[in-house]
Structure 1
């Protein structure tokens, strides 16, 4: 089968398509025939050598988001072949989701949404789980105020929608051209990047603004970052936390249900065949992408 990997760190030119053996599921695992796999900033970070070292065998697979069909199961895996699913392919491995087949733990899998195609479904796992788990950290009550940076992006957009559903008064930060989009997610307020504003109970920093975002948090409030181990130093008794997304099929199933209810909006910015993964990396690096770029085997 074909799989997208890197053998060395660097730019989009390091992204390769290789032939490799079809993986076999072990106990508690499922093998998914991939229909679509999203490209995320974490893939860029892997490629650049920011997050993990190259494994001893020299191959590091790319792809965290997958939508497809279960085609083989290991012992005690609670899925049947032929089931349409989405999953988070968490952590480093020689083969990940950007491939023709991927093996994941069954605990990372959820039934696919019925209301969208596989391309859109593939944009759900990583970004919606990151948004939901980030919103868990400040434990905001209904009526609390929240500022979301990068509110037009994939994580930020889901965060605005989830916060709005929870009764939180949410304001989104993005470029001026994105105001209508951010308000369509349910944002009560909108700020242009760099615009001054009052103080909020919490900031969810999906745009990775860092220390500058603390200026929007009230004394003793919450800052939540999305890059593990990379939160800014605390000031004014602000509680600084960062989310490290965890694979959670049960939570993912609840988020998929919200897609089918129209609460969450998967967005696709473009599609590429698997052999053009490097082009997708180049486009993502250029910035300004609204929605996810998706690879199709």
Structure 2
């Protein structure tokens, strides 16, 4: 009886506290709602070169199971993990291939890209790090027991990349029930690309990167499970509008926000009740969530 009384008092205090909090903080007092998943953006990209194997190794070492990456295609049809459509910012391509400006990913073969140093730009400690193929990346994720939020980058440059990505995932064992249920989400800024993924493999959870108008959310709900906006564009009203729709797998639409790198932003979006927080600094977000 004493235990019930204490529990009732705690619930009453939590409810009373919520009345005096701003809307963005109300969900923080809901002890029954799971905290957002923390997603290491391009791997632990504050500590290792983005979208590389060391970046996902670092995320695993820090205790984060979810990572985000970007997929593009080489001239000869290999899928590689890299963010920019050019190789200039994150490799030494200008030195290795000085006459090949503007150094577009799609204009280089996989063998040429494999020659590039994708780590020295970040730190001498990562000299010799390579741009991974998607197959190499998936094998490392599997070894690390990690989960993946995969972005198809600029699909308009790579016709058919959706089917090709799904084939690589299937070959790596990532389209079985266990992975589809809890370890994989495919997203893009292109609604058409996300719709194609859904049509080709309806069991895959999908997400649209952006903030569609509220009036259009019902159309997105036909082929996406999540709406993933910039955290600066999110509000309590928009969050409620998203939650009012159910995705193709029957659950209310989810929300992962990007890119939150500080405690204040973490507290705000956690207060809205987001499902995931994409961040370059996952340990900062984790520490902030522990204070809620």
TM-score (norm 1): 0.28
TM-score (norm 2): 0.29
Higher Cα Rg: structure 1 or 2? 2
Higher strand share: 1
Higher helix share: 2
